[in-house]
Amino acid sequence: MTGFALGVDQEEWCGQLRALAVQRLRPLAEKGEPGRVNRPLLAALGELGLLERVFASGALELCLLRESLAYGCTEAETALALQGLGAYPVLRAGSEEQRERWLPRVRTGRAVAAFALSEPGAGSDAAALALAATADTAAAGGGWRLSGEKCWISNAPEADFYTVFARTGEGPGAKGVSAFLVPADRPGLSGAPLDMLSPHPIGSLAFDGVPVGPRDLLGEPGRGFRVAMDTLNLFRPSVGAFAVGMARAALDATLAYTADRTAFGGTLSDLQAVAHRVAEMATRTEAARLLVYAAAGAYDRGAGDVPRRAAMAKLLATETAQYVVDHAVQLHGAVALQRGHLLEHLYREVRAPRIYEGASEVQRTIIAKELYGAVAAR
């Protein structure tokens, strides 16, 4: 890939993924129940080798994968991404025992993973989380008891294991957070689904003295926030890719509709107001796409400015997708508001990415902090 275009092989692969999403994955998604984990869909993602690609690829390939699947089947894209988000900390920070037990099952879609960071009082301010991990003096070999709540956790309460971030108290703020791999069958762990606008599964978790030990740690005690940020730095640009995929689907639907729909003695595309709006939608989508690719490339190169680039990519792409889908609905009119219409579906899907994995306001804060930090360093 150059700075501005994909290679021929990459373009062909993306086209194959888009076709696969429509022909093989969308039918499975349509059979699923909104707000529930679709295990047949996950199994298909595993059989096709797509879950394996999440863990074996770099950031750019992950972005191309998510963008292409989102174009044809948002449910498949989200199921794949949530597997990666929940299990990536195990890949990067887990012990050999943890990786051998869980990752083969995640890659084949036989085990459902979840990333449990957000809490009722600690969403955007992740360092303020309050889930307490208190020392369990009765446990042989040491350990902790987890007490508190997690909220807005994708794949909860149906996941088979959770990457959980809790306060072990080695230091103030982010310095006192540890990461744990918590199987869903641990005593004291319960959950409930939440009825959300977004159609993918989201729930809350309650921890009533859930026992965890040193073998459940992901990385070192007090270093859990770094595990979380390493994961988010990889996945934030690919959230932008998800958004770009939705924007491109909405744009293409709008081009086809306005070129064919007759009104006022011609087609909608003959109206300058319509044509100019479509041009704006296309330009913003292309700008977001390029920024996502640039952020992914920086991650793959190990560049030092990944947090800034990742934040910029997620910010612009998710805000752009909201703009494009909203204007696509407007140009389609009432037909786009009917249940089952592509744009009705995208309209519900597109809102959440501006909030999760760091709201737009958080991304702006990260960008500004990185920019002013560079000034201070000079």
In a domain, 3, yes or no: no
**Are 134 and 57 in the same domain?**
no
Distances (CA, A) of 104 to 49, 99, 334: 12, 8, 46
- At residue 109, φ and ψ (nearest 5 deg) are 80, 15
Kindly report the CATH number assigned to the domain that includes residue 80.
Answer: 1.10.540.10
Q: Supply the range of the domain harboring residue 303.
A: 226-377
Per-residue pLDDT averaged across 277-298, rounded? 97
Amino acid at residue number 278: V
CB atoms within 10 A of CB 277: 17
pLDDT in tens, 297-328: 999 999 999 999 999 999 999 999 999 999 99
Amino acid at residue number 350: V
pLDDT in tens, 221-264: 999 999 998 998 889 899 999 999 999 999 999 999 999 999 99
**Are 317 and 261 in the same domain?**
yes
**Are 94 and 121 in the same domain?**
no
In a domain, 155, yes or no: yes
Domain final residue, candidates 204, 222, 240:
222
| Average pLDDT in the chain | 94
**Are 98 and 147 in the same domain?**
no
Of all residues in the chain, the percent with pLDDT exceeding 70 is 98
In a domain, 25, yes or no: yes
CA–CA dist 159, 349 (Å, integer) = 21
Q: What's the pLDDT at 171?
A: 79
Kindly report the CATH number assigned to the domain that includes residue 369.
Answer: 1.20.140.10
Residue 43 · residue 110 · CB < 8 Å: yes
CA–CA dist 203, 331 (Å, integer) = 35
Per-residue pLDDT averaged across 266-287, rounded? 97
Per-residue pLDDT averaged across 266-277, rounded? 97
pLDDT band at residue 142 under the 50/70/90 scheme? confident
Q: What's the pLDDT at 99?
A: 97
In a domain, 32, yes or no: yes
**Are 27 and 90 in the same domain?**
yes
Q: What's the pLDDT at 3?
A: 59
CB atoms within 10 A of CB 13: 16
What six digits make up the tokens of 210? 């859930």
Q: Which residues contact 305 (CB under 8 A, 6 or more apart)?
A: 298, 370
Q: What's the pLDDT at 6?
A: 86
Residue 209 · residue 146 · CB < 8 Å: yes
Kindly report the CATH number assigned to the domain that includes residue 127.
Answer: 2.40.110.10
**Are 62 and 198 in the same domain?**
no
Tell me which range, 5-14, 118-127, 171-180, 277-286, is most confidently predicted by mean pLDDT: 277-286
**Are 364 and 250 in the same domain?**
yes
Residue with tokens 């890659």: 107
Domain final residue, candidates 191, 206, 222:
222
**Are 46 and 132 in the same domain?**
no
In a domain, 193, yes or no: yes
Statement: the pTM of the whole predicted model exceeds 0.85: yes
Distances (CA, A) of 122 to 119, 165, 174, 363, 368: 5, 12, 12, 16, 21
Q: What's the pLDDT at 228?
A: 92
Q: What's the pLDDT at 4?
A: 65
Name the residue with higher pLDDT: 27 or 234. Answer: 27
pLDDT in tens, 78-128: 999 999 999 999 999 999 999 999 999 999 999 999 999 999 987 767 678
CA–CA dist 181, 94 (Å, integer) = 8
**Are 240 and 288 in the same domain?**
yes
CA–CA dist 332, 65 (Å, integer) = 28
Domain count, the chain: 3
**Are 250 and 332 in the same domain?**
yes
**Are 93 and 122 in the same domain?**
no
Name the residue with higher pLDDT: 173 or 257. Answer: 257
Supply the residues annotated as catalytic: 357
pLDDT band at residue 211 under the 50/70/90 scheme? very high
In a domain, 72, yes or no: yes
In a domain, 233, yes or no: yes
Question: What are 150's strand-pairing partners?
Answer: 205
pLDDT band at residue 175 under the 50/70/90 scheme? confident
**Are 235 and 350 in the same domain?**
yes
In a domain, 15, yes or no: yes
Q: How deeply is 92 buried, as exposed, middle or buried, from its count of CB atoms within 10 A (0-12, 13-18, 19+)?
A: middle
Domain final residue, candidates 77, 107, 137:
107
3-state SS of 324-342 is: HHHHHHHHHHHHHHCCCCH
Q: How deeply is 142 buried, as exposed, middle or buried, from its count of CB atoms within 10 A (0-12, 13-18, 19+)?
A: exposed
